[in-house]
Chain A
Amino acid sequence: MKKNTIVWGLLFFSISMLWSQSPIVDSLKTKELKEVIVIGKNNHPADKQEKPLATVEEYLQKSHKVGMIKRGAYAWEPMLNSMATERTVLTIDGMRIFGACTDKMDPMTSYVEISNLSEATIHSGQEGAHFGNTIGGSVDLKRTKSNFDQGGWKGSLQSGFESNNSQKIIGGKLNFSDSTLYVGSNFMYRDAENYKAGNHKEVLYSPFTKWNLSLTTGVKIAKNKVLEGSVIYDKAVDVGYPALPMDVSLAEAIITSLRYEVQPLGSSVKQWETKMYFNSITHKMDDTTRPDVPIHMDMPGWSKTFGMYSILSGTVKEHDLQLNLNSFYNSALAEMTMYPKDPNESEMYMYTWPNIGTFYTGVFAEDRWWLEDHQSLKFSLGLASHNNTFRDNLGRETLQIFYPDVSKTKARLLVSTSVNYQQEKNKLEWGVGLGYGDRAPSVSEGYGFYLFNSFDGFDYIGNPNLKNEKALEGNAFLTFKTKGIKSKLSAAYFHIYDYIIGIPHKTLVPMTIGANGVKVYTALKQAKQFSADWSTEIRWGKYILGKAHLGYSFGEGSKGEKLPLIRPLSYNFSLQYAQKQFNAEIEVQGNGVQNNYNPFFGEDKTADYAILNATIGYRFSVLKNQMMLKTGIENILDAYYTTYSDWKNIPRKGRNVFIHWTFEL
């Protein structure tokens, strides 16, 4: 299988090379169909952000394609096109990182900080398959990039306070650069107490404390060659998850990488980048702080990933080409220990992720072909082999309780392909695309062992015999642009085959005390998901910008049953005033009633809501240094509300006054 992918890759690569001729400079290229969320610049969070020291999740949430499943104040789980992390690919600079929690309390985005990042790039659907197979798309968090720019020493300090949960934020950056070396370092600390929902209702078990440290060093080893080493250490302690029966005493990650980059390499190859990486996640879930638990338990998990990728990108004639070879090995183990009330009785111990290894090797090639008349065509093809292995006997024997014939390894071949057409003409820009791709089941879906889902109250059992989930996808967008107005309508439709979801098993008895039953991961024959967004920006004069956005999603299974966690009508409207030193913004954000809910998955009808936010910012200089001050009020009217993606209808934050400042040294 591995051989196959390599052969395919080489074939594709050689075809691409056949077009080889000297590149032509093209100034008419339109932007790629991706969304970029700016998080920070070299030295400080971007000025124009309404909330500069917001969390990574808050930044991601700005994308209209991204929703967040909230189980508390910390580590929200990003959804793309109303699809959660099994159906999307989350990476940081192309590195695959997998959370170690069976309850998805630690998506990879919870192990980084805004101080580490410059932007987030969001691709919808198969256009996001660069670093792995996906259905819904991908989010690649980009680390802050440094240059060999003789900048010398630069630094900044940030701090902030938020009234709602007494969150204290302290951060700093210190960078050095000259013509052959750069060093970037930063840290961030956050400490928050319980937050309060609207009407001053305290949400118990919702505090968190997080440290993040990062160091990047790059050396110019030749005129066009760079070697860069990077490490992020992230540690969160005493994190509360009010929507869940358990909290987290420790969530710790070490994320390391070594990157080698050559640019340019010859006349057609613009860049060749190779990275090797390793990351290790430890996640300790327990219920020591909760009173009246039926039985006390610990549920730690570990996830380790070794990986590499190598990307060759270049321009040959009218073709922008990219070839990406990437591979990783992940080991996932989670266990549960329950302590009986009778101290003489043996502890109850089991694997919940039965020590599963995942070995993935894929090749992805993309050709963006610039045609005449401001048109372009983009093709992509990805092929990958995906192997799951039981890393020990205990794990295999555990799963054999349900699947006596489960084999030690399970190999899958994954495919991704897409074609997009795009044209820009006068004030209009439009495009259509088609895609097809599949994905392997996640470790939980394939091998989970009595994973309690507090949302629907079922114990979940994985199913190693699941087929790959496949999606046929169509997308389109239309943008109208004049000097003062930019309006964009975009939509994506996914027709999903063998849609993986838990279905109640009639005879199995749950393990968790008080659970409603047992669900086994099964596949719906088909499911369909649709999402559409309309956004408009209108500029009045030099300083005023109005924004409006409407979004809608829909999802149902083959028998017309509604899929869970699908976003209802959502909207926001904002008005910004920004000049060089002073800026202000007022925003209304809300959702319509969630009518398309499904009690079968533990959902109920969620009422509509709207909240009002406002911020003002001021930039000035103190002792020749720049100081930026930002303050604002979120949920000004202190509405008590919950959304379709709040776990067990946990309420969101009530009124929150924040003040964030950055001091540039």
Chain B
Amino acid sequence: MKFIFKNVIAALVASLTIVSCNDADDSVKINELEGLTKINEFSNDVHTIELYTNKAGLEQGYNEVMFRIKNKVEGNYVKNATANWLPVMHMTTKSHSCPKSAISKPGNNETLYKGYIVFQMPQNDTEYWDLKIDYAIEGSDYSATSVINVPAAAKRTVTTFTGTDGVKYIMALVAPTAPKVAVNEMKVGVFKMQDMMTFPVVDGYTVKIDPRMPSMGNHGSPNNVNPVQAVQGGLYDGKLSLTMTGYWKINLQLANTTGTVVKGEEITDTVESSSIFFEVEF
């Protein structure tokens, strides 16, 4: 009995291996889109752009955005394009962009182009965002633009302010996206507005954090680590302790390279909240 059972298992394992070998090419494509939501599809004369994100849709704050370029005639996905993008907020009197990363493409086999965009404000009835993607394939330039849907976030995950140094900053909460009762890895993006269309990463600052629960006596949590940059141009990494579920206000202070706080207040018995903060609820 045991012997037969073993054989059956062996046969099953063998067949599974064979099947997965045959499907190898397809499975890469399937994995590439796993967990992603297609949020938009728009085209120019030659290509269709498929826009994806890892959440249900885009929203105010930090967003990971991916796209694929599909040849309209041949139906295949372009793997060798070089691309850059420009999100623009069209307000009634002016237009501006927002912080964004460069576009990267992980490997030659994949079809997805990836990056992040930080929408510092949501759309409203009269103001909207669009996304322009410029790309080049073997020396030919193409462009496609589409209006995108950026509703307001339920919780504050992005904050815009002018520091005491007169610089206009944008800070965005990148992680945790699924907070838990634990020490969470925290990631924050810190940007400044150079001009209406340029929002580079700020290097070498420190994001001081003080998570509090306003519904419960404004108590805090121990052993947080203030986010700092691991590499220039990168996001800021820190640690966020959440001792229970519920609504947490992560009070912030932004300190520059010399340690001077350019915005935000320390929490004391009389100061219950900083002027800049993120919100987390789970």
**Selected contact of A401 from candidates B183, B219, B281, B282, CB within 8 Å:** B183
Q: Does A171 contact B (CB under 8 A)?
A: no
Decide if A151 is an interface residue (CB 8 Å cutoff). Answer: no
Q: Which of B180-203 contact A (CB under 8 A)?
A: 180-183
Q: Does A485 contact B (CB under 8 A)?
A: no
List A residues 325-364 near B (Cβ within 8 Å). 336, 338, 340-342, 345-351
Chain A 425-464 interface residues, beta-carbon cutoff 8 Å to B = 449-450
Q: Given B180, B215, B219, B223, which contacts A510 in the complex, CB threshold below 8 Å?
A: B219
How far apart are B211's CB and chain A's nearest CB, in angstroms? Answer: 11
Beta-carbon contact of B281 and A346 below 8 Å: yes
B213 and A394 within 8 A (CB): no
Docked Cα-Cα span, A347 to B246, in Å, equals: 5
Tell whether, in the assembled complex, residue B180 and residue A397 are in contact, meaning their CB atoms are under 8 Å apart: yes
Which residues of B sit under 8 angstroms from A394, Cβ to Cβ? 180-182
Q: Is B216's CB under 8 angstroms from A513's CB? A: yes
Name the residue among B183, B246, B282 with the largest chain A CB count within 10 angstroms.
Answer: B246
Q: Output the least CB separation between A245 and chain B (Å).
A: 14
26 A–B contact pairs at CB < 8 A? Answer: A295-B215, A336-B244, A338-B244, A338-B246, A340-B247, A345-B281, A346-B245, A346-B282, A348-B245, A348-B247, A350-B181, A351-B181, A394-B182, A397-B182, A398-B182, A401-B221, A401-B222, A402-B223, A404-B183, A450-B243, A509-B219, A509-B222, A511-B244, A512-B219, A513-B217, A514-B217
Q: Contact check, A345 vs B223: say whether CB atoms are below 8 A apart.
A: no
Tell me whether A400 is interfacial, beta carbon within 8 Å: yes
Given contacts A397-B183, A400-B183, contact A346 B247 (CB under 8 A): yes
Q: Are A348 and B181 in contact (CB under 8 A)?
A: no
Hey, what's the 0/1 contact readout for B238-276 against A, CB within 8 Å counting as 1?
Answer: 000101111100000000000000000000000000000
Q: Does A599 contact B (CB under 8 A)?
A: no
Minimum distance in angstroms from A662 CB to a CB of chain B: 51
- A345 and B183 within 8 A (CB): no
CA of A341 to CA of B281, assembled, Å: 15
Query: Does B151 have its Cβ within 8 Å of any Cβ on chain A?
Result: no
B220 lies within 8 A of chain A by Cβ: yes
Chain A contacts for B282, CB-based, 8 A: 346
Could you tell me if B243 and A350 are in contact, using CB atoms closer than 8 angstroms? yes
Q: How far is the CB of A352 from chain B (nearest CB, A)?
A: 10
Bound Cα distance A342, B247 (Å): 11
User: Are B217 and A350 interface neighbours, CB within 8 A?
Assistant: no
Tell me if B181 and A398 are in contact (CB < 8 A): yes
Q: How far is the CA of A338 from the CA of B215 in the complex (A)?
A: 10
Considering only CB atoms, which chain A residue lies closest to B282 in the complex? A346
Residues on B with C-beta less than 8 A from A345 are: 215, 246-247, 281
Complex interface: chain B residues within 8 A of A33 (CB): none
Interface centre among A349, A400, A404, A511 (most CB of B within 10 A): A511
Within 8 Å of chain B (Cβ to Cβ): is A508?
yes
- Tell whether, in the assembled complex, residue B181 and residue A508 are in contact, meaning their CB atoms are under 8 Å apart: no
Take A397-B182, A401-B223, A404-B183 as given contacts and tell me if A349 and B217 are in contact as well, using a CB distance cutoff of 8 Å: no
- Residues A511 and B183 in contact, CB atoms below 8 Å apart: no
Is the Cβ of B246 less than 8 Å from the Cβ of A346?
Answer: yes
Contacting residues, chain A, for B241 (C-beta < 8 A):
401
Q: Which of A340, A398, A449 is the one whose CB lies under 8 Å from B215?
A: A340
A291 on the interface (CB 8 Å rule)? no
Query: Which B residues touch A401, using CB under 8 A?
Result: 181-183, 221-223, 241, 243
- What residue in chain A is nearest B239 (Cβ atoms)? A404
Apart from the given pairs A338-B244, A349-B244, A401-B181, 10 other A-B contacts in the complex at a CB distance below 8 Å? A295-B216, A345-B246, A346-B246, A348-B244, A349-B245, A351-B181, A401-B183, A404-B223, A450-B243, A508-B222
List the A side residues contacting B213 at CB < 8 Å: 348
A345 to chain B, nearest CB (A): 5
Q: From the candidates A338, A346, A509, A512, name the one contacting B220 in the complex (CB within 8 A).
A: A509
Say yes or no: is A266 at the interface (Cβ < 8 Å to chain B): no
Q: Which of chain A's residues have a CB closer than 8 A to the CB of B217?
A: 294, 512-514
The CA of A401 and the CA of B244, in the complex, are separated in Å by 11
Structural contact, A338 and B222, CB atoms closer than 8 A: no
**Shortest distance from the beta carbon of A520 to any chain B beta carbon, whole Å:** 10
Residues of chain A lying within 8 A (CB to CB) of residue B215: 295, 338, 340-342, 345, 348
Cα(A404)–Cα(B184), bound, Å? 11
- Complex Cα distance, B31 from A223, in Å, reads 72
Distance to closest chain A CB from B237 (angstroms): 15
Q: Is the CB of B181 within 8 A of A338?
A: no
What residues of B have a CB within 8 angstroms of the CB of A351 in the complex? Answer: 181
Q: Closest Cβ of chain B: how far from A204's Cβ, in Å?
A: 24
Scan residues 44-72 of chain B and give those whose CB is less than 8 A from a CB of chain A: none
Closest to A352 in B: B244
Q: Which of B182, B221, B281 has the most CB of A within 10 A?
A: B182
Query: Which residues of chain A have C-beta atoms less than 8 A from B216's C-beta?
Result: 295, 338, 340, 348, 511, 513
Taken residue by residue from 601 to 618, chain A's Cβ proximity to chain B (1 for < 8 Å, 0 otherwise) reads as 000000000000000000
Query: Please, how many angstroms separate the alpha-carbon atoms of A401 and B241 in the complex?
Result: 6
List the 5 closest A-B pairs by CB distance, nearest first.
Answer: A397-B182, A348-B246, A350-B244, A513-B217, A340-B215
Cα separation A450 to B221 with both chains bound (whole Å):
11
Q: Which of A336, A345, A348 has the most CB of B within 10 A?
A: A348
- Chain B CB within 10 Å, residue with most, of A345, A397, A401, A512: A401
